Amino acid sequence: MAAPHLSELNVGDVVATETIEFSRADLVRYAGASGDFNPIHWNERFAREVGLDGVIAHGMLTMAAAVTVVSTWLGDPGRIIDYGTRFTKPVPVDDAASGSPESPTQNLLVTATVGVLDAEASTARIDLAATAGEAKVLGRAQVVVRLDA
C-alpha cells in the first residue's frame, strides 16, 4: 500500500468515493468509544423534547467516518496532518423498523477530491463532500496530507 505521490495528482482528481452506512447501533458504539453520551444521539424521546425530529448522529462520528476514505487511499493514516470541517446539517439515524438494530437506516456518501497541491510544502489538500440523502452534512471539509514528491 504505497502512498500516492504528489506528482501523480492533479487538482480536481476524485481520489476516493464511498458510501458509509449508519445504524442506531453505530451511534451507541460511537458513544461508548468516544465517551460522548449526549442522549440526542440514542434516545428518541429526549431528542424530540429538545426540538429535533429524532435521533441524530454525533457530528464527530460523521466527521470521523468521512475521513476514513482518505486514510485508506493514503495507505498511511499518519500522513494526515490537518483535518477540519463545519457541521452544516444533522444526520438523522432512525431506529430500524424491524429486524436487527444493526440494520442501516442512513447512508453517508463521501467523495474526496484534490483541492490544492503544494509542491514546496509537500502537501495536498483533499476536499471532502459528504451527503446524507439530499443534505450536504459537512461544509468546507478539508484534509491536508503529507506526500512524497
Partner 1 sequence: MPVNTDYEGRRFELRESYEVSAESIRAFARATKATHPAHFDAEVARVLGYADVIAPTTFPVVLAQRSESAYISDPDAGIDFSRVVHGEEKFSYTRPVVAGDRLRAATTVESIRGAGGHSMITSRTAITEEASGAAVVDVTSTIVVRGDS
In angstroms, give the least distance from the CB of 55 to partner 1.
Answer: 15
| Among candidate residues 57, 69, 60, the one with its CA nearest the CA of residue 16 | 69
In angstroms, give the least distance from the CB of 38 to partner 1.
Answer: 8
Q: Counting every residue, how long is the chain?
A: 149
Q: CA-CA distances (angstroms) from residue 51 to 39, 40, 55, 84, 117? A: 13, 10, 11, 27, 43
Please tell me whether residue 47 binds partner 1 under the rule CB under 8 A. no
Cα 62 to Cα 84: distance, rounded to the nearest angstrom: 12
Which region, judged by CB under 8 A, interacts with partner 1, from 6-14, 85-93, 111-119, 122-130? 85-93
Of 32 and 101, the one with the shorter C-beta distance to partner 1 is 32
Cα 125 to Cα 84: distance, rounded to the nearest angstrom: 11
Of 12 and 137, the one with the shorter C-beta distance to partner 1 is 137
Task: Rule CB under 8 A: choose which of 4, 6, 24, 30 binds partner 1.
Answer: 30
Of 15 and 60, the one with the shorter C-beta distance to partner 1 is 60
Please tell me whether residue 78 binds partner 1 under the rule CB under 8 A. yes
Give how far the C-alpha of residue 148 lies from the chain's centroid of Cα atoms, to the nearest Å.
25
Cβ–Cβ < 8 Å for 56, 91: yes
In angstroms, give the least distance from the CB of 5 to partner 1.
Answer: 16
Task: Rule CB under 8 A: choose which of 6, 23, 26, 106 binds partner 1.
Answer: 26
